[in-house]
Amino acid sequence: MGIFGALTTAVTGLRAQSFALERISDNIANSQTTGYKRADASFADFVPDSPSRQQALGVVNAFSRPTNTIQGDIANSEVTTHIAVNGDGYFIISDQTDTIDGLPVFSGEDLYTRRGDFEFDQNGYLVNAAGYFLKGLPIDPVTGNPSGSSPSVIRVSNDFLPAGATTEVDYRANLADFPLTASANSSIPGSELIDPNDFTADPTVGGTGTVQANESSLFIDQSIAGGAITAFDQAGASVNIQLRWAKTDGPITQSTHTGAAVGNAADLAAGMGGTYNDGTNTSDTLTLTAGGTPYSFTIGTGGGEVNTLTDLVNAINGTATLNGIVQASNVGGALSLTALDYAESFTVGGDGDTVTGLGLTANTYAPGASTADTWNLFYLADSNATGTSTAWQNIGQDYTFAANGQLSPAITSTTISALTVNGVNLGDITLDHGSNGITQFADPNGVAKVTDINQDGFAAGELIGIDVSEEGRVVASYTNGRAVDLAEITLASFNGDGGLAKTDGGAFRATPNSGAPIVGALGSVVGSALEGSNTDIADEFTKLIVTQQAYAANTRIISTADEMVTEALNMIR
């Protein structure tokens, strides 16, 4: 082919370098384009069949080599809906083909892109700067898992989030094994316990389970605070639930003491199960036994038996409160003695100061024989209750602890039926304690310490923001503090990334060479970030210099071939 073959080859070289220059120009022009993937030029020679010793010259062709698998730099963005793909994968997008009633109509074909500068339009769609709409899987609000397997265009509504009624409260606490109530005295066994005899009706599980309003201060005096929480009814109205613990130390048993009328201190002692000793002109001693413990009182100062009620009361009052255990009160018509958690009343009758009728008439409440500790939990049913109306309500569950401070039997949850606070019925509320969530361990502060108290209800809320989570989910935030997952951004991958066909705006179309899309790429979605162009300006300028030199070299061949042809033509002159 000779000189003309050299000219032809040089011309294909010029075309190839021009093609490379186009690629370089395109890459440099898009060096700041979000998600842009540069295209490099690749060259190949074409040689016709010919004997090896007479190899014919060939020509060069240029091809575009995509770099879809090469990631650009990821930079932070202040826009919360901007997203980037870290690793393998493409966002699945849809193109708008028409508009009906102000809403876009989408193409049935899925496109793919790495351009993640998505923002909301006026209709609540996530649209990137090239005009493509983001697709994902909707989240099931009940299970919190993606619903379905076919991505759809993501659209966020500005509607209020409906209120959710409280159905469950996570509640965990430690109850001090010796609560420091107002009546607690470490030297007196049982002094920290709630005394049912102080109330009109037994507030424990075995009794009515209620506390009257006029007895609330006494109840609080003998109880330990157990926390408060704001719950919500079906309409989203907030209701404050106040909880309070009371230690009852096992089953409360009731017995009745009766005895014949007594006429002197000796008869009184006998009726109390104690003894009366006649002194020898110095002093007389009255011994009363309560709870198995004897308590002695010196009677008189000059000897002789005590035959009058006044002498007996003065003798008892003269010992003050007897170490806080036994005290006398209501002198004049009745004598009341309190020992430990026993309350015993005696009706006083007679002629003047002479004790002619002294009988035991009141019931006595005493702790049961069980060594286990029992607590009850109450809630304030009516904060506005007065008089004999019910203020506090027992939830109806005994919490019994073994010696190791653990519940026995174990209680992981309990349900309060028709829980009503200040006339608002919240329905059935479950207290979820989890495993070993309620304990009774020693605490020097003597108070119940709540370690976890949360509820699942909420008021209605207005949309205030949209974010993309680390899990690649579109999350809506509302004024009621709730964050709701709306959709999961789905990534697609291809076996042959280089076979994707480029379209406008940094989008790609699947082709037979790329293979079908595989939903569920290994890459991850990064919120508040953008992937930049993978073009390297320095590298492109280096290629530009090489391309320019190669182009100039091809022109030199053409010039030389022209001169040679001219010389050949001049030979015939």
Confidence check: pLDDT of 465 > 50: yes
Q: Say which amino acid occupies 427.
A: G
If one counts every other C-beta atom within 10 angstroms of the C-beta of residue 294, the result is: 11
Residue 276 pLDDT > 70, yes or no?
no
**Average pLDDT over every residue of 543-571:** 91
- Residue pair 550/49 in contact (Cβ under 8 Å)? The answer is no
Sign, CA torsion 477/483/484/486: positive
Mean pLDDT confidence for 80-97: 95
Q: Does the pLDDT value for residue 370 go beyond 60?
A: no
CB-based contacts of 544: which residues, under 8 Å, 6+ apart?
21, 24
The residue among 56 and 558 whose pLDDT is bigger is: 558
CB atoms inside a 10 Å sphere around CB 335:
21
- Whole-angstrom distance, CA of residue 225 vs CA of residue 229: 12
Question: pTM of the entire structure?
Answer: 0.63
Q: What is the mean pLDDT of residues 345-360?
A: 32
Report the chain's mean pLDDT, rounded to a whole number.
81
Mean pLDDT of 381-391: 95
CB-based burial label for 373 (10 Å; 0-12, 13-18, 19+) = buried
In degrees and rounded to multiples of 5, residue 8 shows phi and psi of -65, -45
What's the whole-number mean pLDDT along residues 67-91?
95
Is the pLDDT score of 45 beyond 70?
Answer: yes
Q: Does an H or E element contain 21, and which?
A: helix 2-29
In this prediction, residue 571 carries a pLDDT of 83
User: In the chain, pLDDT over 70 holds for what percent of residues?
Assistant: 76
Count the residues in the chain. Answer: 573
List of E strands, 352-412: 354-360, 363-367, 373-380, 390-401
Q: In whole angstroms, give the CA distance from residue 371 to residue 193.
A: 14
| Residue 55 pLDDT grade (very low, low, confident, very high; cuts 50, 70, 90) | low
Domains and their CATH numbers in the chain: 2-71+537-570 (no CATH), 74-159+489-531 (no CATH), 168-253+368-455 (2.60.98.20), 258-361 (no CATH)
Q: CA-to-CA distance for 96 and 518, rounded, in angstroms?
A: 23
Which one-letter DSSP state was computed for residue 113? Answer: E
Q: Which residue matches tokens 């109330």?
A: 199
In the numeric block, which tokens belong to residue 29? 């022009």
The model's pLDDT over 186-205, given as tens digits with 9 standing for 90+, comes to 776 677 888 787 888 989 99
For residues 519 and 351, which has the higher predicted lDDT (pLDDT)? 519
Residue type, 116: G
Work out the end-to-end distance of the chain between its first and last CA atoms, rounded to an integer number of angstroms. 24
Residue with tokens 């009758």: 349
Distance (Å, whole) CA 297 – CA 446: 34
Residue 470's pLDDT is 82
Task: Reply yes or no on whether the pLDDT at 542 is more than 80.
Answer: yes
d(CA 389, CA 45): 101
DSSP 248: -
Give the mean model confidence (pLDDT) for residues 6-29. 93
d(CA 217, CA 221): 6
Checking if the pLDDT of 353 tops 70, the result is no
**What is the b/e burial string over 229-253, where b = at least 16 CB atoms within 10 angstroms of the residue's CB?**
bebbbeebeebebbbbbbbbbbbbe
* Residues 499, 531: Cα–Cα separation, whole Å: 21
Helix (H, G, I), strand (E, B) or coil at 289: strand
| pLDDT score, position 195 | 78
Give the residue-averaged pLDDT of 12-24: 94
Q: What pLDDT was estimated at residue 510?
A: 97
Q: In 102-180, which ranges are E strands? A: 103-106, 111-113, 119-120, 126-127, 133-138, 152-153, 168-174
307-343 pLDDT, tens digit per residue, is: 344 445 454 444 333 333 333 333 333 344 443 333 3
Share of the chain above pLDDT 90, in %: 59
Q: Is the pLDDT of residue 37 over 90?
A: yes
pLDDT at 359 over 50: no
What one-character-per-residue DSSP string does 437-489 give? Answer: -EE----TT-S-EEEEEEES-B--B-EEEEEE-TTSEEEEEETTS-EEEEEEE
pLDDT tier at 296, thresholds 50, 70, 90 = low
Which residue in 186, 202, 385, 326 sits closest to 194, CA to CA? 202
Rounded Cα distance between 534 and 524, Å, is 18
C-alpha span between 97 and 274 (Å, rounded): 102
Distance CA 392, CA 380 (A): 5
Q: CA nearest 377: which of 445, 448, 425?
A: 448
- 67 by Cβ neighbours in 10 Å (0-12 / 13-18 / 19+) ranks as middle
Contacts of 71-74 spanning 24+ positions with Cβ under 8 A: 71/531, 71/534, 72/35, 72/36, 72/37, 72/114, 72/531, 72/532, 72/533, 72/534, 73/531, 73/532, 74/526, 74/529, 74/530, 74/531, 74/532
Least reliable range by pLDDT among 118-122, 132-136, 304-308: 304-308
Sorting pLDDT into bands at 50, 70 and 90, what band is 266? low
Closest CA to 325 of 335, 337, 313: 337
pLDDT digits (tens, 9 = 90+) for 105-116: 999 899 999 999
Q: What is the pLDDT of residues 201-260, one digit of tens each?
A: 989 998 899 999 999 988 888 888 888 999 999 999 999 999 999 998 644 343 333 333
- Choice among 44-58, 121-135, 553-567 with the minimum mean pLDDT: 44-58
Looking at residue 339, its amino acid is A
Residue with tokens 């009731």: 254
Q: Which amino acid is at 232?
A: F
pLDDT at position 210 is 94
Question: Which residue do the tokens 């035959």 mark?
Answer: 307
pLDDT at residue 380 above 70? yes
